Structure 1
Amino acid sequence: LLALREVIQANGDLTMLHLGSDLTNLGVNLNLGDPLYTTVTSTVTEPCQLPIEPEYRLPPCYLMQPAPPAQQKMSVFSEETLFYIFYAMPQDVLQDAAAQELYTRSWRYHKELRLWLTKDSTAPEPVQKTATHERGRYVLFDPTAWQRVTKDMVIAYEALEER
């Protein structure tokens, strides 16, 4: 303690560091029953309580709206694009969306031939039509040759994929 006394007497600036200060002179009520740590803060150890919002401007590229999902654009695609989506994206949501759009455009999927077909609009009505099948001229899309082929054939309704 003698060494502390000598330091205090030699340097008056260090007096406050070594001895401290009276908290009642600083306006702290010591007669409260609550702990002092909830009312006293330190500028060194306590983080700032106010949230600081930095100034910034959002770049315009972040304000752009994302493109709509491809399922919503199926109606504008050509039939060749729909065939590509159907055959190139197996077991995908887009394959199902392409199949639904082809069905909307009067194409039907033949389960046994694994081809899409539609009635030939230039040909007359089916030659023979029953409850189970019909005979007529059809346009088939051949995915191996990637072209449409016109063919006279008999189509059994049970061989066509239902919607």
Structure 2
Amino acid sequence: MNSELIRINGYLEALSNINTLLGNCYGHQYKFVELNVNINEAVREFNKNSDLSDHKYVEIVGLDELESWEDSLFAVCTYWFFSMFKMRNIVLGEIHYTDGKVVSMENDKMYNRVSEQLITMLRPLFLGSNVRVYQLTTNPPKGEDEFEWEQIYFDVGSKVFVLDFYQWG
């Protein structure tokens, strides 16, 4: 594993540990994995041994391409990194703009350095590549278990990177 992947996974592990601490009965695991397969094989390869493989009733439908991967990933990260704060009714504050717009701090890229930092760490991995980014689509279970997941796939041609968010409870 190269040093960039180690650094990204260290960052994700710290955030997952914070959310696990705040989550009481909810545990969190976030990871970033490199696969040396094409995008068509990546979902099967990754999920053959992932946390999602333990949930046999979850049907993997496919991948949806994200138009603006950085904006989409910012929203996904904000949900995952700040959901435990919301569950504990911790309010982070609001930004009041001169045009009258009011935005919660975690949804503003200038103030939410936590989500923006992950994107900043990912950019160098994709320099010079025509990266295409996808989000896993599933038919989720209906109250079968207390868990959530999100998988983002970064296709850079001969390899695929998977950003995996998983919560159990």
TM-score bracket for the superposition, by shorter chain length: under 0.3
Normalising by structure 2, report the TM-score: 0.18
Normalising by structure 1, report the TM-score: 0.19
Give the number of the structure with larger relative contact order, counting CA–CA contacts within 8 Å between residues 6 or more apart.
2
Q: Tell me which protein shows more strand as a share of its residues.
A: 2
Q: Tell me which protein shows more helix as a share of its residues.
A: 2
